[in-house]
Amino acid sequence: MYVFVYGTLTDPERVEAVLGDERYEFDGTATLEGLHRVEGRYPTLAPGGSVDGRLLEVDNVGLERLDRYEGVDTGLYVRVGVPLADGEQTVRVYVGRPDRLGVAGRVEWPEGSSFAARVRAALERSNGMVHRRE
């Protein structure tokens, strides 16, 4: 399965440190439409625009390790699915809570019952999608 990475996980040494002996592969560059990168203690995303990154292919164990690294269980980041432009797959994307990451300025998310629901709503409104780049 694919994960779209746009921050610390674009660095192969960081990925190796997080995933250890787990199998993974970078599978080219991509652009996520519908969200853009903002800076805080760690990079995260906000509604609108686009962000360039890489596609990282992992298995279920690798995804669990990435979830731990991103703090999904503590609510620091959420993992959402975004369609790949070829229509064949869903790409996983981690989005951090701006209020917990010290992002300067206000980030406006649509209303929703949870942060993950608000991220999904922003992606739906913008027809969010991941496009492979050559």
pLDDT in tens, the chain (134 residues): 999 999 999 999 999 999 998 899 999 999 999 999 999 999 999 999 999 999 999 999 999 999 999 999 999 999 999 999 987 799 999 999 999 999 988 899 999 999 999 999 999 999 999 999 97
Predicted pLDDT of residue 129:
97
Q: Which residues contact 15 (CB under 8 A, 6 or more apart)?
A: 5, 9, 24, 26, 56
d(CA 94, CA 92): 7
Q: What are phi and psi of 83, to 5 degrees?
A: -65, 140
Predicted pLDDT of residue 105:
86
Indicate the residue type of 9: L
The angle at the Cα of 17, spanning 28 to 24, to the nearest 5 degrees, equals 35
CATH number of 2-133: 3.10.490.10
